[in-house]
Amino acid sequence: MDYSLFDFLTLIGSLGLFLFGMKMMSEGLQKAANKKLKEFLSAMTSHRYAGVLMGMMVTALIQSSSATTVLIVSFVNAGLINLVQSISVIMGANIGTTITAWVISVFGFNFNISLLSLPLIGIGIIPLMFSKKNSYKNIGEFIIGFAILFMGLSFLKNSVPDLQSNPQALEFLAKYTNMGYSSVFLFLLFGTLLTIVVQSSSATMAITLIMCAKGWINFEMGAAMVLGENIGTTVTANLAALSTNISGKRAALAHTTFNIIGVIWMLILFFPFVGMIQKIIIALSGLDPKQLDVFTASLDPGVLKLISDPEIKLTDPQMIGLREQLTSLQASTSYALSLFHTMFNIINTTVLIWFSSIIAKLVTKIIPKKKTDEEFQLRYISTNLLSASELAIPEAKKEIDDYIVRTRRMFDMVRELYYEKQEGPFDKTFNRVLKYESISDRVELEIATFLNNVSEGRLSDESKHQIRQMIRMTSEIESIADSCHNIANTIKRRNDAKVVLTDEMTAHVENMFGLAYKHLEEMANLVIQNSHNTAELLKIRDTEIEINNYRNLLYQENDIDLEAKKYTYQEALYYIDIIRECERLGDYVVNVVEAYTGGSKLFAQI
pLDDT tens readout for residues 190-248: 888 887 776 666 667 766 776 776 667 788 888 898 888 888 878 767 776 776 667 77
Count H helices, E strands: the chain?
23, 0
- Cα 548 to Cα 273, 302, 412, 522, distances in angstroms: 77, 94, 21, 17
pLDDT in tens, 488-504: 999 999 999 999 999 99
Q: pLDDT band at 113, cuts 50/70/90?
A: low
Least confident of 112-121, 244-253, 382-391: 382-391
pLDDT in tens, 396-415: 888 899 999 999 999 999 99
pLDDT in tens, 200-211: 666 677 667 767
Indicate if the pLDDT at residue 312 is higher than 80.
Answer: no
CA distance 397 to 30: 25
- Cα 71 to Cα 62, 339, 367, 544, distances in angstroms: 11, 26, 20, 47
Mean model confidence pLDDT for the chain: 79
CA distance 96 to 86: 15
What DSSP string runs through 37-52?
HHHHHHHHHSSHHHHH
Q: pLDDT band at 46, cuts 50/70/90?
A: low
Domain residue spans in the chain?
5-366, 392-603
Indicate if the pLDDT at residue 168 is higher than 60.
Answer: no
Angle, nearest 10°, between helix axes 219-232 and 270-285?
120
CATH H-level superfamily of 392-603: Phosphate transport system protein phou homolog 2; domain 2 (1.20.58.220)
Q: Who contacts 255 (Cβ-Cβ below 8 Å, separation ≥6)?
A: 69, 90, 234, 237, 238
Phi, psi (deg, nearest 5) at residue 2: -90, 130
